[in-house]
Amino acid sequence: MLTSTLIATATAPLQWSPTIGIIMILANIFAMTVGRFKIQYPYSGPELPSSKFFAGFGLPAVLATLCFGHILGAGVILGLHYIGRF
């Protein structure tokens, strides 16, 4: 019983929309803001060619903050979908 409910919930289709894109962008901006204050050495490692677009972060800090932002954004999007907002 529980397994069939979980499978039915997990396979509910979610169509992409501009709102979902905006939520993901905002989640990544939030993650980079948090990373600026919480990463101990944000400027270490190889530099990016256009570091002004990534708050001056080095490659490891950019990868870390954007991975966190995508995990956060996916959680927000799936959570909103689960409660019926999308």
Is 7 inside any structural domain? Answer: no
46's CB contacts (< 8 A; 6+ apart) are: 58, 59
Instruction: Give the residue numbers spanning the domain of 68.
Output: 17-82
- 41/58 Cα distance (integer angstroms): 9
Is 78 inside any structural domain? Answer: yes
Per-residue model confidence (pLDDT) at position 36? 87
Asked whether the beta carbons of 68 and 31 are under 8 A apart, the reply is yes
Is 5 inside any structural domain? Answer: no
Residue 4, CB-side half-sphere exposure with 13 Å CA sphere: 1
Is 68 inside any structural domain? Answer: yes
For the chain, the domain total comes to 1
Per-residue model confidence (pLDDT) at position 57? 82
Give the pLDDT of the chain (86 residues) as one tens digit per residue.
566 666 666 566 788 899 999 999 999 999 999 988 888 887 777 877 776 676 778 888 888 999 999 999 999 998 998 888 77
